[in-house]
Amino acid sequence: MRIITTIPEAQSLPRSNRLVVVPTMGALHKAHAELIRVARKHAGRDGEVAVSIFVNPLQFEPGSDYERYPRSEKADEEFCRKAGIDFLFRPSAAEMYADDRSVFVDESFLSNVLEGKSRPGHFRGVCTVVAKLFNILAADAAVFGEKDFQQLAIVRRMVRDLNFKVEIIGVPTVREEDGLACSSRNQYLNLEERKEAAVLYKALRAAVNGGKKSAADVVAVARKVIAEAPLARIDYVELVSAETLRPIQMAGPNSVLVLAVFFGKTRLIDNICLR
């Protein structure tokens, strides 16, 4: 495994085969292992897999957890070696962004709701850094988890609208044994918060399997289950169109139930698609 920390070095790598990129912010866990596995499958026998690790300051709103976001450089490096990737791109913020930067990538429809409403500017930062990674690494394909459903939809829209020649591959959410979606932020939870956080997937399953059709009823079921956890504080629970991310009135095959819930200071997101 080759470790690359500068943009010129990344751009000078000899390329003859298909490259599949797994963009991450580090603190790697078993969900990342699944992303890497899928990336290797799509790279093919002769292709290459790259993981990028970059805690992107542009996607953290003021007062958020940018400074305390978990950074485990040595552990992540070993994780990547064991996963058998071809190279790790690990730039610094100074390497990625000029002090006088003035160009950003801003998606203006899908990013105005849900996470975008709760975290203004977040997806501007996501789109900017993902566009830069695609350009720097000359990616043929990139793998993203479906846990961040809105992010995946926005990256696909960016690729479509800006004509990136990059295939976007979505990977189903990887969960812990109790159903909690794997996330680097889970390590912020104390023991009691972690125990209660399992209610999120329980709520999603109950809402989807409850036989309700109206959005109001589906959301009500999820909220009722979440209320069983005393430490949970709901940011949002919404039934939306999988295409537009706008609220819909009735559950259907192209809808997704999305939620964001605080446990203490830790904010967790999850979703489930209605089939």
Catalytic residues: 32
The answer to whether residues 264 and 231 touch, using CB atoms and an 8 Å cutoff, is yes
Q: Which residues contact 174 (CB under 8 A, 6 or more apart)?
A: 30, 31, 34, 145, 147, 181, 182
Nearest to 182 by CA among 80, 12, 22, 32: 32
What sign for the dihedral angle of Cα 250, 255, 257, 207?
Answer: positive
Nearest to 93 by CA among 132, 64, 142: 132
Nearest to 251 by CA among 210, 214, 201, 204: 214
d(CA 140, CA 169): 11
Nearest to 91 by CA among 135, 121, 123: 135
Nearest to 222 by CA among 241, 208, 242: 208
Three-state secondary structure call for residue 104: coil
The answer to whether residues 269 and 173 touch, using CB atoms and an 8 Å cutoff, is no
